[in-house]
Structure 1
Amino acid sequence: MGSGAPDQESALEAGPRGPSSLAIAVAGAAEEGVESGKTDSAEDTRRARDPELFLVAEAYSDVVAVVMGTYDGRRGWILRLAVHPAHRRQGIAGWLVHELENRFRSLGCPRVNLLVMPDNLAGLRFWQALGYLPLPDVLCSKPLQQATT
């Protein structure tokens, strides 16, 4: 995959995959130390709404990377990109992002946004190399308490 294109033993799959445990396991392994909530149901909802924007890269039948996007009719968002640590530095992430961008274009999406934590220098370099530029926007966030029944 280092050439930016899949090899004979690699595949790209989009859309709902039934149980997302493999994709979530890859994301979990790739994001060690990243705060995560109970996102399975939210990710299932996004996959159902935008199945063509949920991409999974496989090598030798193993899930090695995932990217999830969403499009609200105005802006595209890249919500999660994760490559299993054993498969990094092979061009898989760039390949997935390129394919996701093509899918955004086919939907008529004029712009894609994403969030990167300011201390994630490697992530910032990766995204900037792909043409994503930091903006002076301010991220506002509010943790919500779950309703109790």
Structure 2
Amino acid sequence: MTDLRIRAATPEDLDAVLAFWKVAAEGTSISDDRAGVERLVARDPEALILAERHGELAGTVIAGFDGWRCHLYRLAVHPDNRRQGIATALLAAAEERFVRLGGRRADAMVLTRNESAHRAWDAAGYGPEEQWRRWVKPLAG
């Protein structure tokens, strides 16, 4: 896919990313606002990875690394661009980043009800670990 460009997001991309997630991402997050994404990009400028096709945003993934664990969030591809290798390219970029930073294993946040995502993650070599549960406590109202 020679027309695909993978790059880190910049502060100038954030409004477009937030609008994109409303169309392409499944579910919402408490951090899906300008301030939350600004903090992410300011703290770790390479964490939010974008895929562009013909100058248009086609996909995203957040590849967060805290120095110990590698976490993947917001893998999203525009519905018009799915099943064209964009998610694969984004995950490859995220995994390369993790390896470069010394990461040993990546985990992904995947909604239980998102069956199409389950197939995509499985095809990429990821699998659920049923012995773990996510425990959550909102810190902001």
Q: Same fold (TM over 0.5)?
A: yes
Deviates more, 1:124-133 or 1:87-96: 124-133
Quick one: structure 1 residues 145 and 26, their matched pair in 2 at CA, closer, same or farther if it must change by over 3 Å?
A: closer
What corresponds to 2:63 in structure 1? 69
Out of 95, 98, 101, the residue aligned to residue 101 of structure 1 is: 95
| Counterpart secondary structure, 1:67 | strand
**1:53 CA drift (Å):** 2.3
Say if 1:71 and 1:77, in contact at 8 Å, map to a contact too. yes
Matched residues, number: 139
* 2:80 is the alignment partner of 1:86: yes
Query: Are residue 51 (structure 1) and residue 25 (structure 2) matched?
Result: no
Q: Which residue of 1 aligns with 2:136?
A: 141
Partner of 1:42: 36
**CA contact under 8 A between 2:65 and 2:98: conserved in structure 1?**
yes
Aligned CA RMSD, in angstroms, stands at: 1.7
Native 8 Å contact 2:11 2:38 kept in 1: no
Runs of 5+ unmatched residues, structure 2: none
Q: Normalising to structure 2: TM-score of the pair?
A: 0.88
Distance in 2 separating the partners of 1:144 and 1:18: 27
Kindly indicate whether residue 21 of structure 2 is the aligned counterpart of residue 27 of structure 1. yes
Shift in alpha-carbon separation, 1:145–1:108, aligned structure 2, 3 A: closer
Q: Distance in 2 between matches of 1:120 and 1:51?
A: 28
- Paired with 2:17 and 2:49, the residues of 1 have a C-alpha distance of 10
**Whole-angstrom CA distance in 1 between matches of 2:118 and 2:111:** 8
Structure 1 spans left out of the alignment, 5+ residues: 2-6
- Rate the CA distance shift 1:92–1:140 in 2: closer, same or farther, 3 A: same
The SS at the match of 2:72 is strand
How far residue 143 of structure 1 moved from its aligned partner, in angstroms, is 3.4
TM-score normalised to structure 1 length: 0.84
Q: Percent identity of the aligned residues?
A: 34
